[in-house]
Structure 1
Amino acid sequence: MRRTLLLLTVLAGLAACGKKEPEIILPTDSCGAIRLQGLVGQPAEVLETIRFTQPVRVVQPGQAVTMDFSPNRLTIETNEAGRIVRIACG
């Protein structure tokens, strides 16, 4: 009994050592996407009224895009209805 209790204590201690708090990674906003989140849900035509100071890529459903990551580029995704569904850097 004493041996079992000791073994359980050791195993519990080892299990506790293996647990690591998840690392929180905050998104970077090098392209200003955070301040434009209010556009999500709006028709894509609203983009024609905005003057952007950085490169912008508007991605429509099924459109082929390059996989390169450009932190200063604003990527705006639209849905089939022509509404903005996502705004992010890259």
Structure 2
Amino acid sequence: MKYYGKALLALAVLALAACQSASKTETAAAGSDVENDTCGAAQYQNYVGKPLSAVNSLRFDTPVRAISWNSAVTMDFNLHRLNFLADKNDTISKVYCG
């Protein structure tokens, strides 16, 4: 019976170690998104929290999508397209490439 307890303890330690390394990988991936900002989303992060209609007065050199919370959009991925995603209050919640 002692061997089962030790085996379970070793398995739990390995499982916790696996979870820790996965969270570090996600943080590294988020940092690489900033480096690969192909559509210029970083310069429009100040629009987060503003109404989605604020995008209408801007001029862009790249393709742009203003996405309402209940809009249907295509799932094609375009690194050079700038997306403004709004929540239920029609407030911009995220600006990203894709």
- Find the residue that maps to 1:48 and give its secondary structure: helix
Asked if 1 retains the 8 angstrom alpha-carbon contact of 2:52 and 2:92, the reply is: yes
The letter for the 1-side match of 2:53 is E
The letter for the 2-side match of 1:85 is S
**C-alpha displacement of 1:56:** 0.3
Larger Rg: 1
2:61 alignment counterpart: 53
For structure 1, the residue ranges without an aligned partner over 5 or more in a row are: 1-10
Q: Deviations over 1:39-82 (max 9, x none)?
A: 00001121111101100011111211111110000011111221
2:52 alignment counterpart: 44
Question: Which structure has more helix as a fraction of its residues?
Answer: 2
Moved over 6 A (4+): none
**C-alpha displacement of 1:30:** 0.3
- Find the residue that maps to 1:68 and give its secondary structure: coil
For structure 2, the residue ranges without an aligned partner over 5 or more in a row are: 1-9
Cα distance in 2, alignment partners of residues 60 and 45 from structure 1: 10
TM-score when scaled to structure 2? Answer: 0.67
Q: How many residues align?
A: 78
2:78 alignment counterpart: 70
Identity %: 32
Of 20-29 and 53-62, the range deviating more from structure 2: 20-29
2:92 alignment counterpart: 84
